[in-house]
Amino acid sequence: MKRRFHPSVVTANDLFEGHPVWRTADGRWSATIREAEVLRDPETAEARLAAAASDAARVVGPYLAEVATAPEGPAPLHFREVFRVRGPAHASDRLDHLPGE
């Protein structure tokens, strides 16, 4: 049984700093999920993921993560992705982490 495709973004970790990054429509890697390109069909998603895989000089381990879409941009769905966006509970870690917010 094939699962229905859900809007997704390409995400990975930055090679140098290790933090989560999201792929934008113009092929950049942003530290903010809201800037990510939302992929709405499986073919485009696979193509973007393949493009990301050839970006090994900048990122590690790209994969597709499902998102909720809203006018202000995509937001993580799965709780693991929520934690990746939010950072750990440790107070000092959390404050330091949130990039660009």
Question: Applying CB under 8 A, does 44 fall inside the site for other proteins?
Answer: no
How far apart, in whole angstroms, are the C-alpha atoms of residue 6 and residue 87? 24
Q: Does 90 bind other proteins (CB under 8 A)?
A: yes
Cβ distance to other proteins smaller for residue 16 or 101: 16
Torsion of CA 10, 19, 54, 37, to 10 degrees: 30
Q: Does 68 bind other proteins (CB under 8 A)?
A: no
- CA–CA separation, 12 vs 61, rounded Å? 5
The binding site for other proteins (CB under 8 A) comprises: 13, 15-20, 56-57, 60-61, 78-80, 83-84, 87-90, 92-93, 96-97
